[in-house]
Amino acid sequence: MKYTLLPIAIIALALLVPACGTQVTEGSTPAAVPTMTVLAVTKLSVSTATQFVESYPGVDVTRTATATSTASLPATGGTTVKASLSDRHGLILVSGDGFALYLYKEDVQNADTIACIDKDCTNDWIPLTTDGSPIAGEGAIQQLIGTITRGDGRAQVTYNGWPLYLHVGDEEAGSTKGQGLDGTWFLVSPSGTAIAK
């Protein structure tokens, strides 16, 4: 008799342990979804993220996000802007596939017009356009990303109010051949300013 109580105790314990945690079954909704604060500098190495925070101490890189499954996030089809560590220039903004992004000093920050519109300009400097809402990737700040409508109706991605461009001379990810050209084209920092070095 005393030996039959042990399996019953084990079964009872096995039934009690899952009840101690929150269990969500398919189709059910938890009573409350917790919120958490996350860094905008995500998926970067610890050293890169540390350099970002040290380089831009005045930039608020935190934002509040609701915990949710990535499978439930809407697909916007938008262009991604993220940060990448350049050996020569430090942290710079790049496109989703790693090509350097530039701002043009002839553009006016936060304006509703664009200076680089004729073919002489756009043959060398390709506007970064998007078909949906642009997305902040690793190291970029979503609040600084926007769009401006070009004369042909395409939406060009902006960052901190500056229209973004790709340089035709950058034939591979990581290249920064457009930096400083004509004294008007500059790489962009994750804080949204021109990189002069």
What pLDDT does residue 103 have?
98
pLDDT tens string 108-148: 999 999 999 999 999 999 999 999 999 999 999 999 999 99
What pLDDT does residue 197 have?
82
What span, in angstroms and rounded, lies between the C-alpha atoms of 90 and 197? 9
What span, in angstroms and rounded, lies between the C-alpha atoms of 178 and 62? 31
Question: Is the CB of residue 74 less than 8 Å from the CB of residue 164?
Answer: no
Mean pLDDT of all residues in 46-69: 40
Give the length of the chain.
197
Max distance between CA atoms of the chain, in angstroms, equals 94
pLDDT tens string 63-106: 222 222 223 233 346 999 999 999 999 999 999 999 999 999 99
What span, in angstroms and rounded, lies between the C-alpha atoms of 189 and 138? 13
Residue 2's Cα: distance from chain center in Å?
A: 63
What pLDDT does residue 58 have?
47
Helix ranges (H only) for 43-174 are 46-55, 119-122
What span, in angstroms and rounded, lies between the C-alpha atoms of 92 and 86? 7
Tell me how far apart the terminal alpha carbons of the chain are, to the nearest angstrom. Answer: 83
pLDDT tens string 148-190: 999 999 999 999 999 999 999 999 999 999 999 999 999 999 9
| Whether pLDDT at 17 is above 70 | no
What pLDDT does residue 169 have?
97
> What is the identity of the amino acid at 23?
Q
Question: Is the CB of residue 78 less than 8 Å from the CB of residue 172?
Answer: no
Pairing mode, strands 165-167 and 185-188: unpaired
Question: Is the CB of residue 117 less than 8 Å from the CB of residue 154?
Answer: no
